[in-house]
A and B are shown apart, each in its own frame.
Chain A
């Protein structure tokens, strides 16, 4: 069934890594196949942060095929050379796990489409996120496992969205885990709870328009759908409102950009969402207990109605 959670601090930063971990861990009964974080950290805004993987986690019930670590090393070398060829420079490099890397890149051309296409032309390599604030971290296991594995507890930022996944439509692997990056837009991420029934129709149309899909997870469609709308000049909120009729099925999804956080709920209100809103904090999740992990005191919350779209700025 999956669980989603998100929060945005307005006018200040906070320890969003730890806060989101608490929210997602409270929802772990909704799915522990994988957990993903989209964290918007405080940065100087100079360099792009690229989170990418050169292989899959093949443990913990994964549906992926095991590969030798030397294959990962080989892929990493090609990534490094392509980055250099694109005129970009790796400023900082972290390899948390053999298959998962974080680069800070000095790249001033700004065309992430060309850059991403080049990097992802390497078989087995996928960019999980790219942006000047966004970092998408996703892996198999529950929220605490992933948080500990990637040391997310200390990350300070303004907002974050996350997802606890029970795999139903596609495999147990990182590529099908949420959040999805709104490729090729800097700092756009999406998490979704529900099922989309016109996935293949929309995918065929969007692929014909040159959009990219990395998995067969129906939720990825939302990120691609919104990215395509924004590419054609729509604002995030306009794209989200359009999705209420363009996407068929049941869904509640969150989308985040560098400065904003939004939610949309399908016209049948079939998927849950509880929302807390104040002047300095918005917190929301599939269940109230997620919000309670950051706001234990008695608070006023509500369920948004069917077909509602809301967007908040930091």
Chain B
């Protein structure tokens, strides 16, 4: 468990302003030491060839059958899989833990591409609630709109929606980047703990409610701020990062990122448990 004491020593990420707390003691960096090869063994993963391409029509399959079939194709080395007729089915493309080009020609229902770690996913339609929940790594691009809880509890990777999203986008987010081309609903960044959310359009009420850490950038109007979410000045590193990220995401061309509003945690709720009862009242 990381020790959250403040020290003078800063990591490169901290000096860039990516996160503000300074970790000491046994951290995740140690757990994933590249010298320890056994830590990289991942059960249920496949070595795939991106040049090996196939199509899968899931029109007559339920989600279990479709996911099993995707797994089977990966085990045969297919690195590019095109899914035809997803028809808004739930839980398609979940639990993929290796590199893969996965393309959905259509829309997904709830819990699409959840708990993934590595694949690059493109959805040519829209997605329902909780798309890419718990994503560890990879890139997911949604061409149309997304439902609520978009990117709930994501830990890493890039999650991009070119349209608008529902409520509670990035709820409980623990890392990674969520980029929204359109508007976002209420409670965006609710209880987020790390990572970044970028919304080019407007956001609804209670933005960043009870957020612990992380950063939210908003291009349009903000319905209202949630508890403990505060505005922070944009820095040059913010602007550079946003420009780079939007370019890579192929979204918001010519968008003036310098005029975006940056929202961070006020951290008055951060050490809530350590506060005296009277102080808790003040914090709320």
Residues of A within 8 A of B (CB): 267-270, 272, 274, 287-289, 291-292, 296, 298, 300-303, 305-306
Contact = CB atoms under 8 A, between A and B. Distances in A.
Contact of A298 (B125, B164, B168, B185): B125
A133 to B, nearest CB: 31
B204 A289 contact: no
Interface string B74-110: 0000000000000111100000000000000011011
B107 A298 contact: yes
B88 A300 contact: no
Nearest to A291: B88
Contacts of A270: 167
Contacts of B168: 269
B186 A267 contact: yes
A284 to B, nearest CB: 13
Interface stretch (B114-122, B142-150, B238-246): B142-150
A267 B61 CA distance: 37
A289 B125 CA distance: 13
A289 B108 CA distance: 9
Q: What is the predominant secondary structure among interface residues of chain B facing chain A?
A: loop
A267 B128 contact: no
B212 interface: no
B205 interface: yes
Given A274-B147, A300-B144, A305 B107 contact: no
Interface of B: 87-90, 106-107, 109-110, 124-126, 128-129, 144-148, 163-168, 183, 185-187, 204-205
A274 B145 CA distance: 10
Contacts of B148: 269, 272, 303
Contacts of A287: 88, 90, 109-110, 128
Given A267-B186, A302-B126, A288 B88 contact: yes
Contact of B109 (A267, A288, A306): A288
B16 to A, nearest CB: 34
B187 A268 contact: yes
Contacts of B167: 268-270, 303, 305-306
A310 to B, nearest CB: 15
A303 B107 CA distance: 14
Given A269-B185, A296-B87, A301 B107 contact: yes
Most chain A beta-carbon contacts within 10 A, residue among B109, B124, B147, B168: B147
A288 B107 contact: yes
A26 B200 CA distance: 35
Nearest to A308: B185
